[in-house]
């Protein structure tokens, strides 16, 4: 299975001056923990890291030893553009692809394997976890408009996996129609194509804010004790 790691983001919401993936958590950069899980996932055979040129040296220095082929890919201005560039850089033999946010450093290797298995069966799949909070929909003035039924709500995560041909077609349609999406599954939804949920753990958070670093530190410390 081919994997693209989205690593081209900034640290704006983190309040950092550079890429948040290079911030320390439990003594190592965020992305280093993500790569540990990637290297431990048997299903992953090829890795493309999509990042900004300014971060290339620092990110590649995190890779001390890997038996899996790794390719650096210069990213774009948005996540959507970065994934498009990543798809263009896949080797010709790639028929299926997983896409993972580098900031989800608490992922378990088994989740990569389960998602890969579903994609190889021809399905589009995303990792997700059921919501436990009650969600309120709010209008532009801050007033609640309604409360959706919680039982049907899931929080989307990554990895997300797709047949390469279909995902490339989805991105082509997005370019032509001016769609801006925050995850690749949204392209399939707009085109009416089915996407399967792969249940994952709530711990598979995306490190975005300083508080997320605290959570990640706690989870990693707990794992180290067991």
Where residue 172 sits, what CATH number does that domain have?
Answer: 3.90.550.10
Place of tokens 């990640």: 216
Domain residues for the domain of 214 are: 2-225
pTM for the full model? 0.94
3-state secondary structure labels for all residues of the chain: CEEEEEECCCCCCCCCCCCHHHCEECCEEHHHHHHHHHHHCCCCCEEEEEECHHHHHHHHCCCCCCCCCEEEEECCCCHHHHHHHHHHCCCCCCCEEEEEECCCCCCCHHHHHHHHHHHHCCCCEEEEEECCCCCCEECCCCCEEECCCHHHCEEEEEEEEEEHHHHHHHHHHHHHHCCCCCCCHHHHHHCCCCCEEEECCCCCCCCCCHHHHHHHHHHHHHHHHC
Tens of pLDDT, residue by residue over 117-155, are 999 999 999 999 999 999 999 999 999 999 999 988 999
Strands 96-101 and 154-163: antiparallel
Instruction: Answer whether residue 116 shows pLDDT above 70.
Output: yes
Domain count for the chain: 1
Q: What is the mean pLDDT of residues 102-109?
A: 97
Tens of pLDDT, residue by residue over 152-205, are 899 999 999 999 999 999 999 999 999 999 899 999 999 999 999 999 999 999
């Amino acid at each position: 299975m081919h994997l693209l790691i989205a690593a081209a983001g900034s640290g704006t919401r983190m309040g950092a001056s550079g890429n948040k993936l290079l911030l320390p958590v439990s003594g190592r950069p965020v992305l280093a923990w993500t790569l540990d899980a990637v290297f431990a996932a048997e299903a992953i055979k090829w890795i493309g890291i999509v990042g900004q040129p300014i971060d290339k040296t620092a990110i590649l220095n995190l890779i001390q030893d890997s038996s899996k082929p790794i390719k650096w890919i210069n990213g774009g201005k948005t996540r959507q553009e970065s994934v498009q560039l990543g798809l263009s850089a896949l080797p010709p033999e790639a028929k299926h692809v997983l896409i993972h946010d580098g900031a989800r450093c608490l992922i378990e290797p088994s989740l990569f394997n389960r998602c890969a298995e579903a994609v190889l069966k021809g399905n589009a799949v995303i990792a997700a976890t059921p919501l436990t909070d009650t969600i309120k929909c709010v209008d532009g003035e801050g007033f609640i408009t309604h409360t959706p039924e919680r039982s049907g709500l899931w929080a989307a995560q990554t990895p997300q996996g797709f047949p390469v041909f279909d995902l490339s077609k989805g991105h082509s349609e997005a370019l032509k129609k001016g769609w801006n999406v925050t995850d690749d599954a949204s392209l399939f939804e707009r085109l009416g194509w089915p996407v399967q949920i792969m249940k994952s753990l709530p711990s598979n958070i995306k490190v975005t804010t300083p508080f997320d670093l605290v959570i990640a530190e706690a989870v990693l410390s707990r794992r180290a004790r067991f």
